[in-house]
Amino acid sequence: MQSPCIHICSIDARSGLCLGCARTLEEIGAWATLGDQGRAQIMTQLAARRVRTGLPDPSRLPLQSCKEETAS
C-alpha cells in the first residue's frame, strides 16, 4: 500500500498531525513496519481527521521538502 505522504511535511502544533497527510508522527514513523491492515486502518481515518481538526486543504499549502518514505 502506498504512503499517503504528499511531501508537505509540517506538524500542526495544535492537532499534532502532519499538514500534508494528516498522520501523527507515530504513524509516520511506524508506516514502514505496518502491515496492509494497519496501513488501511490509518488511511480510512485521514479525511475525517482533516475535517474534524480543521487542517487546511494540502493543495493550498506551500511545498516543503521532506524525506520520502522508502517502504511501501
Q: What is the pLDDT of residues 35-70, one digit of tens each?
A: 999 999 999 999 999 999 999 888 776 665 555 544
On the question of pLDDT at 72 being above 90, the answer is no
pLDDT digits (tens, 9 = 90+) for 1-36: 899 999 888 999 999 999 999 999 999 999 999 999
Domain presence at residue 68: no
Residue 59 lies in a domain: no
Number of domains in the chain: 1
- Report if residue 11 sits inside a domain: yes
Phi, psi of 50 (to 5 degrees): -60, -45
- Residue-range definition of the domain harbouring residue 5: 1-54
Mean per-residue pLDDT over the chain, rounded: 87
Judge whether 39 lies within some domain. Answer: yes
Q: Is residue 63 part of a domain?
A: no
Domain contains 60: no
Question: For residues 26 and 52, what is the distance between their CA atoms, to the nearest angstrom?
Answer: 19
What global pTM score does this model have? 0.79
Q: Is 65 among the domain residues?
A: no
